[in-house]
Structure 1
Amino acid sequence: MERLSGLDASFLYLESSAQLMHVCGILQLDPSTIPSDYSFGAFKADLEARISTIPDFRRKLKEVPLEIDHPVWVDDADFDINRHVHRLAVPSPGGPAELAKLCGHMAGIPLDRSRPLWEMYVIEGLDNGRIAIFTKMHHATVDGISGSNLISFLCSLEPGAPLLDLTPLGERYDAAPGDWELFGRGLLNNLGKPWQFVRLMAPTTSVLTKTIRRAREGTAMAAPLTAPRTSFNGNITGKRSVGYADISLEKIKEIRHAVEGATVNDVVLAISGGALRRYLEERGELPETSLLASVPVSVHGTSTKTGGTNKVSSMFTRLGTDVADPVERLRQLAEANAHAKDHHKAIPADTLQEWAEFAAPRTFGLAVRAVAKLKLAEKGPVIHNLVISNVPGPPVPLYFMGAKIVGFYPLGPVFHGAGLNVTVMSANGQMHVGLIACREAMPEIASLAAHFPEELDALHAAVLG
């Protein structure tokens, strides 16, 4: 048994039929590298054997009576691979548009909370002879880094090589404890919350004071609630549209070296800003002020917390969509992000996780329903326009159950008020860009995806000639 951290549990509490809190991914595989040739039956059997050694794939939720505390993870004694791994065929002609539409449909289907919170769909019939794997994992179980690591446990460095040694992960979660035991544990945890609240007040007040000072000096990160409104900033539904693109990591690094002070992440954000500018200009929707992105920041390396899966913080950054010159946009982003990183470092790594311990399921649920029913996301100031994540991946080729991974496009959740998510993952010399949006707000997301390589080429040409 393992109690969910407050941050992990908050993704359960924030979920509704419209605001789905799972993260998805599209893996494109070359089946010709599988040593014994591909068959779905053999593929699933190998996957089942591997998953049986990884407890995180077999754990499910158990609620605490009266919801007085966060749920716990327990082993699923009735685990059945057939409930999690499915076989599909992409509609004819089996191109990128058909695959994206199929994945968008599946991204809009919630996970069954009575089972381990993940699914995989093996998609055949692609016109290029590849196989796609559509993965779905609840955000309560993974963040960007841990999700990437969990998938890597199913990979090897060569087609026929043994997978990673997971001996330390071999022990399963405990069987479900009784309701009275959970209730007692919950009461004890709640007894300490007033003291935790008092303990958090002093450092939080200090952070706020320093933030005000930074704002006056012009060295603070961009402030939330200052974003312009766009067509994808309102109430969302449960329907999703999906797009994806590949851009050259080598070109991004060349740009980074040529522009003083720029980082790879700055270049990615500048490309994102340019792609969004093109998209909004085409529709006559480009705001006069810059779009504002929320950028998740991993604190796995600095957090002192031992429990929980999600170890993230967040910073806000303006994307320079109001700047036509791609080089000037990058320079502005690099300078602003340098301030934002210094500001973020001044905030204790565990702050968000500690405050999230006070999350209450009923309160969060009521808040989500109120936002949807009253359409609060369509009124008043916009907190931020979208979420952009940059997840580092392996610099070498990987093989998923023997099949070479030729593309991995991560897809994060979208929220009321911010109906677009852009997630970028580096892998083997490429940057794989995954885009997901509320379908009503952005039905033609493929056109936005197409602008990413165009914007990279424009920025590369402007910087290096």
Structure 2
Amino acid sequence: MQQLTGQDAMFLHTEMKGLPQHIGGIAIYNPATAKGGRVRFKDILAMLRSRLHLSPIFRRKLATVPLGLGQPYWVEDPNFELEYHVRHIALPAPGDWRQLCIQAARIHAIPLDREKPLWEIYIIEGLDNVEGLPAGCFAMLLKVHHCAMDGATGAHFITLMHDRSPEVEIPEQAPAPQPTPVSYPLMLARAYMDAWRVPFKAMGMLWDALPTYRRLRHGYAEHKFEHLGEIPRTRFQGRISPHRVVDARVFDFATIRAMKQAVPGATINDAMLNIVAGGLRRYLEPLDELPDHSLVTGCPIDVRSGGEGNAGNMVGFMALALCTDIANPRERLQAIHQKSSEAKAYAQALGPRLAVEITDLIPGNILALAIHTAALTGLTESSVFMNTVVTNVPGPPWAQYFCGAEMLSNFSLGPLLPNIGLFHVIYSTVQNKRGTITLSFTACRQMLPDPERYARCLQEAHDEIAEALLTNKAKAPRRNTRAHRPQANGSTP
């Protein structure tokens, strides 16, 4: 048995009705590169079965401590059945990009079964009318609970299911793990010992509080960072419905790179945040809902050190202003770069691992009670800490093949959080400074009933920024195929 960390368990405690806490993504493949030019469902099952031993995520499920006195444990599922987790479906007519997004949104809105290992894969056929795709392409939709992995862990997990060439490799086999009987007395004994350790952990955090306070005071005095000020309330704040919408846009990496080079010191992430800010401006302004003060985004950051591996969650958080109160694209990018530098300095002064340490300190039953009480009483909606989330997930710098089929494109799906109904993911696939960056979003359908318009706003913001920052010579040619620049919307019913 392996116990979940406090941060892993936090995603279980945050999960409520209508607010599932899994992450995932959709990849689209061309089977023309596979043996015989096709991939059969039984080939996918055989490939996955040969790789189950490469990650414990595949076979393990949750076991809870009696009375919630400790964090849950991972245990091997004695009744594991691969075909329960891997499902085969097809899009309804007309089988276009809109139908793919609708199907993805519906599936993503459904919580995972906690009595099973917390992952699912859907093989989706019927994509023949998705603009720009060769005939016969299929998609894979992956769902994994956030308590099992974060974005960095997920990138590693996905590579386990792919090869670097059309040749399907058969990894060296290992004996199947033997399920260990769940020992509730052992769980309770460990919970008792952990309870004794809590005061010492708290004392350690208090001991670190004084130097943290000094770093923060020095940072404010030296103007290394400033207070965010008033954070406005937008349509993306409030009670989250159980229905989702998803969509994505794909941009040329060379164009994004040229954008960030237009402002000294700016990063690729700054350039993408500029697109998000521009898209939000374009979406909210016609509705007369653009606040005078800047919207604020939360940005998860990986806080692993070199030897901490690729398991579970090790996520810090920083909040930064998107500068949505600035219309000029160049001035907005300059301001975002400044705010990003300030946010990084603040996170460093506060301690990037603070979120991890706090969740390890709070007992799981108390944290769960606090989160659910806040949700039931409306306390989570009473204050605004951020308006949206933007996370950056780097893809591998090599081509990927799934059962011999070449991956053509990929976009990620994120979880919504209490009082935050819009989640963005930046996913990059770059080889030798050439490639694409996908900007996808998941949203509450009641808060964003027209995702196709928001996707169009993101595209228009990209085009406006390119026009403002780049010379004609520096601009990359626009992509015309929907497979490389998706345009339509998806929603749950």
**Are residues 23 and 200 of structure 1, via their aligned partners in 2, closer, same or farther at CA, if it must alter by over 3 Å?**
same
Q: Which residue of 2 aligns with 1:34?
A: 34
Q: Secondary structure at the match of 1:55?
A: coil
Q: Which residue of 1 aligns with 2:321?
A: 318
Using the TM superposition, name which of 320-329 and 399-408 deviates more. 399-408
Question: Does residue 1:458 correspond to 2:459, yes or no?
Answer: no
Question: Does residue 1:244 correspond to 2:248, yes or no?
Answer: yes
The number of equivalent residue pairs is 460
Q: Secondary structure at the match of 1:56?
A: coil
Unaligned runs of 5+ in 2: 472-493
Q: Distance in 2 between matches of 1:189 and 1:453?
A: 51
Q: Distance in 2 between matches of 1:196 and 1:233?
A: 34
Structure 1 residue identity aligned to 2:392: N
Question: Does residue 1:65 correspond to 2:66, yes or no?
Answer: yes
Q: Secondary structure at the match of 1:114?
A: coil
Match of 1:397 among 377, 395, 399: 399
Summarize the alignment of residues 197-208 of structure 1 with structure 2, pairs less than 5 Å apart.
197-208=202-213
Deviation of 1:346 after TM superposition, in Å, equals 2.8
Q: Which residue of 2 aligns with 1:409?
A: 411
Q: Secondary structure at the match of 1:245?
A: strand
Q: Distance in 1 between matches of 2:221 and 2:387?
A: 24
Match of 1:375 among 375, 378, 392: 378
Is the CA contact 2:391–2:425 (under 8 Å) kept in the aligned structure 1? yes
Q: Distance in 2 between matches of 1:395 and 1:12?
A: 32
**Are residues 398 and 307 of structure 1, via their aligned partners in 2, closer, same or farther at CA, if it must alter by over 3 Å?**
closer
Summarize the alignment of residues 130-169 of structure 1 with structure 2, pairs less than 5 Å apart.
130-162=137-169
Q: Distance in 2 between matches of 1:166 and 1:362?
A: 41
Output one character per residue of 1:166-220: Cα deviation in whole Å (capped at 9) or x when no partner.
Answer: 88x9774862431111111221122111111111112134324432443354322
Output one character per residue of 1:149-178: Cα deviation in whole Å (capped at 9) or x when no partner.
Answer: 101111111111527x688x9774862431
Unaligned runs of 5+ in 1: none
Q: Secondary structure at the match of 2:29?
A: strand
Structure 2 residue identity aligned to 1:298: D
Structure 2 residue identity aligned to 1:452: L
Question: Does residue 1:259 correspond to 2:263, yes or no?
Answer: yes
Structure 1 residue identity aligned to 2:418: H
Structure 2 residue identity aligned to 1:5: T
Is the CA contact 1:275–1:448 (under 8 Å) kept in the aligned structure 2? yes
Q: Distance in 2 between matches of 1:253 and 1:301?
A: 28
Question: Does residue 1:435 correspond to 2:441, yes or no?
Answer: yes
**Are residues 321 and 173 of structure 1, via their aligned partners in 2, closer, same or farther at CA, if it must alter by over 3 Å?**
farther
Is the CA contact 2:168–2:403 (under 8 Å) kept in the aligned structure 1? no
Output one character per residue of 1:65-123: Cα deviation in whole Å (capped at 9) or x when no partner.
Answer: 22211111111121101211111111211111111111111111111111110001111
Using the TM superposition, name which of 441-450 and 78-87 deviates more. 441-450
Structure 2 residue identity aligned to 1:69: G
Deviation of 1:315 after TM superposition, in Å, equals 0.6
Structure 2 residue identity aligned to 1:300: R
Structure 1 residue identity aligned to 2:199: P
Deviation of 1:444 after TM superposition, in Å, equals 1.2
Q: Secondary structure at the match of 1:155?
A: coil
Question: Does residue 1:351 correspond to 2:354, yes or no?
Answer: yes
Q: Distance in 2 between matches of 1:363 and 1:445?
A: 37
Question: Does residue 1:23 correspond to 2:23, yes or no?
Answer: yes
Question: Does residue 1:56 correspond to 2:60, yes or no?
Answer: no
Q: Which residue of 1 aligns with 2:188?
A: 183
Q: Distance in 2 between matches of 1:341 and 1:202?
A: 23
Q: Secondary structure at the match of 2:57?
A: helix
**Are residues 434 and 170 of structure 1, via their aligned partners in 2, closer, same or farther at CA, if it must alter by over 3 Å?**
farther
Q: Which residue of 1 aligns with 2:488?
A: none
Using the TM superposition, name which of 35-44 and 72-81 deviates more. 35-44
Q: Which residue of 2 aligns with 1:5?
A: 5
Output one character per residue of 1:238-292: Cα deviation in whole Å (capped at 9) or x when no partner.
Answer: 2111111111111111122232010111111111111111111132211111110
Q: Which residue of 2 aligns with 1:123?
A: 124
Task: Calculate the TM-score normalised by the size of structure 2.
Answer: 0.88
Structure 1 residue identity aligned to 2:416: V
Q: Over aligned residues, Cα RMSD in angstroms?
A: 2.1
Q: Distance in 2 between matches of 1:205 and 1:135?
A: 44
Is the CA contact 2:39–2:403 (under 8 Å) kept in the aligned structure 1? no
Is the CA contact 2:259–2:469 (under 8 Å) kept in the aligned structure 1? yes
Deviation of 1:360 after TM superposition, in Å, equals 3.1
Q: Secondary structure at the match of 1:203?
A: helix
**Are residues 307 and 278 of structure 1, via their aligned partners in 2, closer, same or farther at CA, if it must alter by over 3 Å?**
closer
Deviation of 1:349 after TM superposition, in Å, equals 3.9
Structure 2 residue identity aligned to 1:337: S
Q: Which residue of 1 aligns with 2:239?
A: 235
**Are residues 147 and 221 of structure 1, via their aligned partners in 2, closer, same or farther at CA, if it must alter by over 3 Å?**
farther
Q: Distance in 1 between matches of 2:179 and 2:323?
A: 50
Q: Distance in 1 between matches of 2:43 and 2:287?
A: 48
Output one character per residue of 1:384-404: Cα deviation in whole Å (capped at 9) or x when no partner.
Answer: 001100111122221123221
Q: Secondary structure at the match of 1:156?
A: coil
Task: Calculate the TM-score normalised by the size of structure 1.
Answer: 0.93
Deviation of 1:11 after TM superposition, in Å, equals 0.7
Q: Percent identity?
A: 32
Output one character per residue of 1:337-387: Cα deviation in whole Å (capped at 9) or x when no partner.
Answer: 1222222223434322121112333333333333333333443x3110011
Question: Does residue 1:387 correspond to 2:389, yes or no?
Answer: yes
Is the CA contact 1:226–1:383 (under 8 Å) kept in the aligned structure 2? no
Q: Distance in 1 between matches of 2:172 and 2:147?
A: 22
Q: Distance in 2 between matches of 1:282 and 1:159?
A: 48
Summarize the alignment of residues 335-346 of structure 1 with structure 2, pairs less than 5 Å apart.
335-346=338-349
Q: Which residue of 2 aligns with 1:296?
A: 300
Q: Distance in 2 between matches of 1:173 and 1:67?
A: 26
After the TM superposition, list the runs of 4 or more consecutive aligned residues in structure 1 that deviate by more than 6 angstroms.
none
